[in-house]
Amino acid sequence: MRIAVCGGVYSNPWALRAFIDDARRNHADRLYCLGDLGGYGAEPDAVWPLLTGNDVICVAGNYDVAIASGAEDCGCGYRDPRDQEYAEMMYDFTLRTTNRRFAAWMGTLRTERREKLDGCDVHFVHGSTTGLNDFWWESLPEAEHRRRVEASGADVIMCTHSGLPWIKRIGDCLVVNVGVIGRPANDGDRRVRYALVDIDDGVARARIIRLHYDWRSHAEALRRAKFPEAFARTVTTGWWTTCLEVLPTRERAKGRFHLYDSSVPRLLEPLGLGEDAWPDPDPSIPVRSLWGSPLLPDHIWYTRPPIGVDDLTEAAAGCAISHVRPSDGHSPVMRYIGEARRPLPELTLTDQGWSWHPRLTSEPPFLAHPAEIPPLAAFVDAARSGAVEVLLEELQAQNLLLPPNYCAG
């Protein structure tokens, strides 16, 4: 048996239609949707006939439960004021424009589903096995993964809600976060994701499918409905410009944007800097990248690099880094943030790995070199993401940024 499973339709009928067509082309025997039919999009009613007319088996997400009951909010649990503002705006629009017959249909959906498929016990949930709006991130500690698996006991667990797909075997259980089809996965790719799962005599194998759809029409509908540009920009670029709060540091560091404009004054104050030290590069969206900021300059220093300097310079240029210099005799002074006196990073390449600062190369690198150097652009990008992750962890530890909220319940 082959099943196709999507999540997070988010009022995006163009992506839902593409999912149905692609699943049929891939000879899926059954199609499933794991909920959150509204939100983030401008056409909620257009998804209902596509679901019912193509026998898509649905479970309810937190958005669907809220819309069905006419609740005051989506139950997303955002704490950041900007995320909460956007969530309220989108929820109010969805509640107002969703046909009440569609809303009543959502109210008939179960919030989880369990089926025996070709010898496999498959558990379909929205957030996780422990909560409807629980964010089941790939980067969670192993104990947190096991806790969610043990709460189910199924052979296969299918989930969504977090928006980022992954596949992981935890003990004897195959867990598949199918991602969402309503918006991209914060990796610069406009395509959306769903999962194909093959089940044969009790054994399941899964893969994540990247799905092309008419993103231009989706973005145009958002703009026509007069939503803030941030919503359409995610669709047109593949990078999240909202919902940053929920992302753990590892997942957030892989994106282009890492924090909200509103966070900037609080981050600059310990450095004795005013807001003019970090001009807003794009006022049409409310988010910024740490990379190239006063907290993480777009510099690469090197000493005993494992690759040629010309190759390093070329790879850095591919990542929009023009400052590549030897550290000997040119090392910048160390700047610190917060009471813990953690130095701010100046990305430094040595023969051992990527160091935090040219003056700290005697310490173990924060990112050691792999056995084989990957393609150079990916080599530099991994270091940049690693530095952002460590910096985000430090900023959260010093209460300068909100830590992620794994479960809104």
Classify 206 as helix, strand or coil: strand
Predicted TM-score (pTM) above 0.85: yes
State the average pLDDT over residues 257-282: 92
Of 26-35, 79-88, 342-351, which range is least confident?
A: 79-88
Determine the 3-state secondary structure of 170 from DSSP: strand
Q: What angle do CA 182, 186, 190 make, to 5 degrees?
A: 60
| Rounded CA separation 12/17 (Å) | 9
pLDDT in tens, 31-68: 999 999 999 999 999 999 999 999 999 999 999 999 99
How far is residue 197's CA from residue 338's CA, in Å, rounded to a whole number?
Answer: 48
- CB atoms under 10 Å from CB of 70, counted, come to 10
Confidence at 27, pLDDT banded by 50, 70, 90: very high
CA-to-CA separations, 147 to 131, 150, 152, 395, in angstroms, rounded:
12, 5, 9, 28
Yes or no: say if 194 and 178 are a contact pair by the CB < 8 Å rule. Answer: yes
- pLDDT beyond 60 at 393: yes
Whether 71 has a pLDDT exceeding 60, the answer reads yes
Please state whether beta strands 348-349 and 353-355 pair in parallel, antiparallel, or not at all (unpaired). antiparallel
Helix (H) / strand (E) containing 2? strand 2-6
Question: What's the pLDDT at 340?
Answer: 67
Q: Could you report the per-residue pLDDT of 303-319, keeping only the tens digit for each?
A: 999 999 999 999 999 88
Contact 324, 318 (CB under 8 A): no
Token look-up 């692609």 returns 22
Counting other chains too, the contacts that 107-114 makes at CB distance below 8 Å and 24 or more residues apart are 107/65, 107/68, 107/69, 109/35, 109/58, 109/59, 109/60, 109/64, 110/59, 110/60, 111/35, 111/59, 111/60, 111/65, 112/59, 113/57, 113/59, 114/154
- Could you tell me the pLDDT band of residue 85, with boundaries at 50, 70 and 90? confident
- At 74, the pLDDT band (50, 70, 90 cuts) reads confident
The 3-state DSSP class for residue 273 equals coil
Residue 29, pLDDT above cutoff 50: yes
* CA 268, chain centre distance (Å): 26
Helices (H), 187-337: 215-224, 229-237, 249-253, 264-268, 309-318
pLDDT reading at 408 higher than 50:
no
Measured CA to CA, the distance from residue 236 to residue 219 in angstroms comes to 7
- pLDDT the model gives residue 406: 55
pLDDT of 264 above 50: yes
Query: Does 144 score more than 90 pLDDT?
Result: yes
> What's the Cα-to-Cα distance from 164 to each of 28, 201, 207, 285, 316, rounded to whole Å?
22, 29, 14, 21, 27
364: how many CB neighbours lie within 10 A of its CB?
10
State yes or no: pLDDT of 152 exceeds 90. Answer: yes
pLDDT at residue 117, as a whole number: 97
- Per DSSP, the three-state class of 390 is helix
Residue with the two structure tokens 């300097």: 309
For the segment 172-180, the average pLDDT, to the nearest whole number, is 98
User: What local confidence, expressed as pLDDT, does residue 19 receive?
Assistant: 98
Least confident of 82-91, 177-186, 391-400: 82-91
Helix or strand run (H / E) with residue 386: helix 376-397
Residue 216 burial (CB count, 10 A): 12
For residue 394, what are the CA distances in angstroms to 82, 169, 366, 403?
22, 30, 13, 10
Residue 409 pLDDT: 41
pLDDT score at 405: 62
pLDDT at 327 over 50: yes
Q: What is the CA radius of gyration of the chain?
A: 23
User: Which contacts (CB < 8 Å, 24+ apart) does range 107-116 have?
Assistant: 107/65, 107/68, 107/69, 109/35, 109/58, 109/59, 109/60, 109/64, 110/59, 110/60, 111/35, 111/59, 111/60, 111/65, 112/59, 113/57, 113/59, 114/154
Q: Which domains does the chain have, with CATH numbers?
A: 2-215 (3.60.21.10), 256-409 (no CATH)
